[in-house]
Amino acid sequence: MKIYNPPIKEFKFILEAIGYDELSSIEKYAGYDLQTVIELLNEAGKFCVNELLPLNSVGDEKGVTFDPETHEVKLPEEFVALFQKYVENGFGGLSQPEEFGGGGAPHLLGLLIGEMVLATNKSFSMGPGLTKDLILAIRMNGSDEQKETYLPSLISGEVSGTMCLTEPQAGTDLGLVSTKAVPNEDGKTYSLTGTKIWITFGEHNFTDNILHLVLAKLPDAPPGIKGISAFIVPKVLENGERNKIFCGGIEHKLGINASPTCVMNLEGAEGYLMGEPHKGMKTMFVMMNSARLGVGQEGVALTEIAYQTALAFAKDRKQSRSLNPDKVDKSSSADNILVHPDVRRMLLNIKSTNEAMRCLVFYTGKLISISHSHPDESRREDAEDIISLLTPVIKSYLTERGFLNISDAMQVCGGAGYTTEWNIEQYLRDERIAMIYEGTNHIQALDLVGRKLPMHGGRLVQKFQKEIETFLQENAGNPDMGEFLSPIKESFEKLQDVTMWMMKSSMSDSEVIGAVSSNYLNAFALATLSYMWGIQVKHALGQGGEEAKTKLKTARYFNSNVLPEIDSIISIIKKGKSNMMDFGTEEL
């Protein structure tokens, strides 16, 4: 049973809460005021419900096929037709630059539409999603010629894009990449040889041509990641010839079955250097960081559709009697399961975390739009710093909490949730990969603790803390805000204390960071979500009405039932690595 109502009212509330007007006041985005954005979202929502959602389980059941003779990978024909409709509606290019054929909308609008696309058909979303990330990489690092050559066709949907990083021996450790790039005699192109694995949409039948961003090493490359260069490798060359990059096989997976995951073999494929030699990691991180934000949003999107499904089930299901005699339905032999506190606990855990996580994604999306186009350079830099700080938090925490939320949604439905009839089992399977790809969640934690916190002398985290302190000060005089400000202040004080403990402890034991960083990221995320609730509460108090009252109730629930997790997490962090490194291999 497929249940999804696009949460447009929720989108509008959050856009108002985070101050969307700041974006529409930028000259470049003047044509995208809030009313226009809501109209576009309503149309996109209809497309997602009417076109994407019905094919979600179809793609899961049919999967993709691979022909070893022709190296062709094919998605179901229904998906190919669906992609053409998606392109014709202009959803993929809406937030891309006008000079290359895009709609010129803020990046945030792409995220708003992206949540609905992800919720209704995650497998489908993977193709356009990676193309969007490649577009950004070329915009940021490509030459003028490369931008003019590739961006229009990528934005129009005529060509799609991939990211080819991983190799059998080089996963998290990209310094082990062995794909070679040898300069050709023409002085412009390179011949690439090697094998890439886990390549999403590496081969497919959505578009005739595919642009691959490939990491490889030049003959004079220094060792490790400092020797990596980035190359654009098209499936079809400018003269129409088939390039020597082929799919060698597809993976058979737990979920996202209509998203082809390919082994790609480069057999002297022709490629073009993007950016400077040996500076490929810079190019890669532009694309990867964009992808990581999108992956984090997967947790929000699939939580939303799972929550709506579980809530619909719970409203209809009757089992047992209420523990409160006053709530017993005497006209029925059993009560609706919503009278049971534990059912409400699960539903409210989902609701209270997801509304804060969505706010965090859109808050960050607004910052991305500011970093692209705000006229004030210092405002752009501040936005970039906070985006950089929050990216690993979003990728890691939102995917982990999203998976737990979907599991709770399944639990609400009992045995029915475990069956294919209610589709939650597919959402659970599709979400599980999000904690792994685009950098495992532990890598995100190490990135936060090892890179982002100390970066530029702590500038990133100091700016974020300053913003929060300003928010607390500006709202301190509002008596209605008091109960919501205290949890923010207290959680960040606790976070600051454990941060100092962690940094001090790591000076005498280098393994401490590896042992505690994942827990630290979760503590950081919880504190950040408390701030997101503060932003929403402020707007709700100013708005009034029944929906605003529900927001306040949900914020109270989060502060009482979810945020206290930070205390147990910090307690564990302060145990350091405990005795985890004392076990011999044979004892594990």
Amino acid at the residue 2 = K
Phi, psi of 212, rounded to the nearest 5 degrees: -105, 130
Phi, psi of 328 (to 5 degrees): -70, 130
3-class SS at 162?
Answer: strand
Tokens of residue 170, six digits: 């080089």
The Cα 286–Cα 165 span in angstroms is: 13
Question: What does the H/E/C string look like for 285-338?
Answer: HHHHHHHHHHHHHHHHHHHHHHHHHHHHHHHHCECCCCCCHHHCCCCCCCCEHH
List for the chain the helix, strand, coil content (%; round to 5): 65, 10, 25
Cα 494 to Cα 184, 455, 520, 571: the distances in Å are 57, 21, 11, 11
Q: How far is CA 425 from the centre of its chain?
A: 20
Using DSSP, state whether 199 is helix, strand or coil.
Answer: strand
Q: Is 211 in contact with 155 (CB distance < 8 Å)? A: no
Sign of the CA dihedral 306, 312, 318, 320? positive
- Taking the alpha carbons of 41, 79, 61, 67 in that order, is the dihedral positive or negative? negative
For β-strands 159-164 and 209-217, DSSP reports them as parallel
Q: Where are the alpha helices (DSSP H) in 106-158?
A: 107-120, 122-141, 144-156
Contact 57, 79 (CB under 8 A): no
- What span, in angstroms and rounded, lies between the C-alpha atoms of 152 and 142? 14
Catalytic residue among 148, 251, 438, 565: 438
Tell me, yes or no, if 493 is annotated catalytic.
Answer: no
Say how far apart CA 392 and CA 295 lie, in whole Å: 11
| Residue of 530, 527, 523 whose CA lies nearest to 568 | 523
Question: Distance between CA 444 and CA 496 in Å, rounded?
Answer: 19
- 491, 557, 551: which is closest to 522 by C-alpha? 491
DSSP codes joined into one string, 60-83 = HHH--EEETTTTEEE--HHHHHHH
User: Which residue bears the tokens 């403990």?
Assistant: 501
Question: Residue 123: which of 58, 66, 167, 77 has the closest Cα?
Answer: 58
Structure tokens at 471: 């928010």
Q: What is the largest CA-CA distance in the chain?
A: 86
Contacts of 560 (CB under 8 A, 6+ apart): none
β partners of residue 170? 167
Catalytic residue positions, numbered = 438
